[in-house]
Amino acid sequence: MTSPPAVRTEALSCRFGEIQAVDEVSLEIPHGAVFGLLGPDGAGKSTLIRMLATVQRASSGDAFVFGSSVTREPHRVTPRLGYMSQRFSMYPDLTVAENIDFFATLRGVPRAERLTRAASLLTSMGLAEFAGRQAGRLSGGMKQKLTLAVTLMHQPDLLLLDEPTTGVDPVARREFWRILAGLHRGGTTVLVSTPYMDEAERCTDVAFMEAGQIRHRGSPQQIKQLVPGTLLEVAAENPREALAVVRRAPQATSVHLYGDLVRVLWASGADVKELDRWLSGQGLTATVRPIVVDMETAFAFLADVGVGGGEPR
């Protein structure tokens, strides 16, 4: 007999009054996946994660974590979970070290392991020198890092992470993903929601959620292949001006600013050289180069399609 997947949901739904936050989601997450949950704000990602974490009741449907039902046997689910919510906060009057120790004790991490693991996590999160500071006196991002450290103290079979890196600086974000990669190699299954598309690239599987439903799922590679046409990057002296000019080109299906570069999705079949001609025809000097579609582009494209194919403003 094959072992059940890490997560399987069956028409899982959650309704708050008028709002259908999660709408009959049927989803499977294989063992050992790093599964990224993407989608616009308010798509229902947190609610879906909260149901898997057994802290939110489903209105209908069910979900199974390693084969156990979250609605009927939550006591079998929770010991295998690590859950980091957007709202969780530490005890502000306990120090960094005390908070870590307190929560690790709750999760039954043995003392010797607690000490070594805490030390290594604090170091990689850049918090080592602040171990004695009260949690309430940390900066916003440092609090978030402390929450990460607490979540990673025990090594559960399934990690549920709801926007773990919001407010975390780029260097620490990298460290965090290095730790996740290590857990992944050790066999942990990870479900993570994130607004950072560079993090989505690092997932083995992603799902794009909108209005309570999973609209697309696949490897990042497969999701990116949903984007039709060629992605072109335009570098110009005045990017805002270039943006306006490019937006008027008939072959441009989606145009936006990324940093100080203009990114254009050029209709499939249309000649890429046309953009050069269009730009010079409009009196603009700029260099154009084709680039690989990344998750940032895919996200914007999928979000656009979802709202009826409209252009982003």
Partner 1 sequence: MSWDPEALRGTPVNPDAAISVRGLTKRFGDFSAVDGIDVDVPRGQVFGFLGPNGSGKTTTIRMLTGTIAPQAGQALVLGEDVIRHPERAKRRIGYMSQKFALFEDLTVDENLRFYAGVYDLPPERFAAQRRYVLEMADLIGRENELTANLSVGWRQRLALGAATIHDPELLFLDEPTGGVDPVARRQFWDLLYDLASRGVTLFVTTHYMDEATHCNRLAFIYRGRLIAEGSPQQIRRDFISQRILEVSVGDPDAALQWLEQAEGVAEAYLSGASLHAVIGSGAQGRDELAPWLTGRMREAGFADVRAVEVDPTIEDVFVNLVSRQP
Ligand X SMILES: Nc1ncnc2c1ncn2[C@@H]1O[C@H](COP(=O)(O)OP(=O)(O)OP(=O)(O)O)[C@@H](O)[C@H]1O
By rule CB under 8 A, what string of x and - marks binding of each residue 126-165 to partner 1? x---x------xxxxxx-xx-----------------x--
Would you count residue 141 as binding ligand X (CB under 6 A)?
yes
Q: Which partner from the list partner 1, Mg ion, ligand X, none does 163 bind, CB cut-off 5 to 8 Å by kind? A: partner 1
Would you count residue 300 as binding partner 1 (CB under 8 A)?
yes
Q: Quick one: which of 38, 84, 138, 243 contacts ligand X (CB under 6 A)?
A: 138
Q: Which partner from the list Mg ion, ligand X, partner 1, none does 235 bind, CB cut-off 5 to 8 Å by kind? A: none
Residue 149 or residue 302: which is nearer to ligand X going by CB? Answer: 149
**What residues numbered 166-205 form the site for ligand X, per CB under 6 A?**
169
By rule CB under 6 A, what string of x and - marks binding of each residue 94-133 to ligand X? ----------------------------------------
Would you count residue 93 as binding ligand X (CB under 6 A)?
no
Q: Which partner from the list partner 1, Mg ion, ligand X, none does 201 bind, CB cut-off 5 to 8 Å by kind? A: partner 1
Burial of 9 (0-12, 13-18, 19+ CB in 10 A): buried
Q: Which partner from the list partner 1, ligand X, Mg ion, none does 181 bind, CB cut-off 5 to 8 Å by kind? A: partner 1
By rule CB under 8 A, what string of x and - marks binding of each residue 71-110 to partner 1? ---------------x------------------------
* Residue at shortest CB range from Mg ion: 140
Q: Give the contacts of 136 (CB within 8 A, at least 6 positions apart).
A: 92, 93
Residue 125 or residue 227: which is nearer to ligand X going by CB? Answer: 125
Over the chain, what HEC string results? CCCCCCEEEEEEEEEECCEEEEEEEEEEECCCCEEEEECCCCCCHHHHHHHHCCCCCCCEEEEEECCEECCCCHHHHHHHEEEECCCCCCCCCCEHHHHHHHHHHHCCCCHHHHHHHHHHHHHHCCCHHHCCCEHHHCCHHHHHHHHHHHHHCCCCCEEEEECCCCCCCHHHHHHHHHHHHHHHHCCCEEEEECCCHHHHCCCCEEEEEECCEEEEEECHHHHHCCCCCEEEEEEECCHHHHHHHHHCCCCEEEEEEECCEEEEEECCCCCCHHHHHHHHHCCCCEEEEEECCCHHHHHHHHHHHHCCCCCCC
Chain positions contacting Mg ion, by CB under 5 A:
139-140
Chain positions contacting ligand X, by CB under 6 A:
137-142, 169
Chain positions contacting partner 1, by CB under 8 A:
39-42, 86, 126, 130, 137-142, 144-145, 163, 166-174, 177, 181, 195-198, 201-202, 220, 224, 240, 256-260, 292-296, 299-300, 303-304, 312-313
